[in-house]
Structure 1
Amino acid sequence: MYSEETGVNYHDYMVCRIDGQLMFNDIYIYVTGEHLSETLQRFLIKSVPSKNPMKRLFGNDKKVDVDNFLLARAMVDKGEFQNAYNEMDKISGELAKEKFILLFKSGIAAEISNELYEKNLAEFTDLFPEDPTLYLKLIDYNILKENYRKANENIDKLIFETEDNFLRIMKAKICLLDGDYETAENHYNYMMEYYPDFFESYIGAMITLNYLNRFNEALNIADNLIEMGYDKDILAEFFEEKDEFGENVLDPLVKSKPYKKWKRKS
């Protein structure tokens, strides 16, 4: 699973056979760092009446902590990230060191500040240094630290774990951030060849060529998108759009003579 906003996630499905039929009996979700059954168990704890002896199966000491988690989850839904983080900080004992809790807390921290996010990922790294979930998180962490070599190493470990060549899109982004435009171009070319319907690859390739002042080649990619059915006017609007900071990485291309000529051409 992938989106530009949330990055990469994976699900490992556990398969069983019931009455001759294959079924999924659990799912391990990389980004949460635990099986779905464990996640659902937390909500079961909440639903058990306080005097019910069944809750002792899960540990009485965790009940209040689970309440803190559920309250924090509700605050996240409202966009109250600092309050949610404060609630998560109240969780103590062994539960505070569980992967699910640490990962959820780091996600909240990312919404507050890079420094807090780094602090939480460092804690997770100390407790789970070889966990595959960590590879996902360390990509972000090392990008924040501008340690692009380490970020690439994390991606390579994830590729080994998953055998997923789609992760080349992440390597392309990191090379772009690191100013290694030729390697970024190779990764984007690979993505355009093997994932021809993936729009982000084309834009990434155009941004790379834009940095290399190879404007005509960038516009060839734009023409390919038009041939694939994209509207030229909408593409032009997209190329010229500024971000929330009033910047546009494609400015050199947009201001170039080849682009102005391309835009006038019917």
Structure 2
Amino acid sequence: MLQRSPKDDTGDFLFHFSSIKIYNEHTLVAAPMGSGVYVRHKEGDWEGLRQGMPEDVHVNRLIIQTGKLFACTNKGLFEFDMICELWRDTGLVIGCYQLREAGGQLWAATPYGLWSRTGTGWHKIAYSHVRVYDFLFYPEFIILALEFGIAVYDRLVGVWMEFPFNEAVTGLAVFEGHILGVTENGTLLHGDKQGGFEQIRFPHLFLFSIVTKGSEVYACSDRGLFRISCIRDQITLISVRLGCPVTDIDCNADNLYMATLFQGIQRLEL
């Protein structure tokens, strides 16, 4: 486990991390729940990155796209200016849950659907009447995680297909060609490649998120971190680190970093 800054003893740094990213290999960026963004360079102390960020902001996700650091927050999307060391408004002033780059454009999941940034600014693209929490782009499909389920856009025929579950789907991944989703109630959705989904509730386990790293998909839960596997055609969770709630991860060639609810940032050597 990484040691916290000595400032922890004053109470200023007694926070729980909700998102973590490795930036430029030797820098960690973390978003404590409801407390802005902090950075740690190599073995230094945690320092706040608050300039340019609104008061009382909650960071939903930290994102790194094309070498740039973004913060998806309840008060909009912000990009960090490394030269001036401050956050800059990207022009998207509504809440933001996810950000991805595709086709040379930035795309954002918001409470008012899927948006895209072009040369003329941000524009609504799809499902502007519902919350979009996450999305994935593939050559043949666009997959959306919605407040009521999953929607898949078939690019070949130009048709949306909806899969309602009467609960929000907050995260997406693809594992061995199968669509995976995590719901607001902590369950896992497993697509069968035939237009159906199996809803899996693992006993005594609440899933917070699913994170794709390379060819692996990880499940962050209230009991620790798991790697998703498939044994005899059944989705299985393989334990990676147990003992505390894990909400997000990031990794490089040497280490895997975990954002936890109660034990700060933890590191696992690979």
User: Do the structures match in fold with TM over 0.5?
Assistant: no
TM-score, normalisation: structure 1: 0.26
Rg larger in 1 or in 2? Answer: 1
**RCO greater where, 1 or 2, for CA within 8 Å and sep 6 or more?**
2
Q: Name the structure with the higher helix share.
A: 1
Q: Name the structure with the higher strand share.
A: 2
TM-score, normalisation: structure 2: 0.26
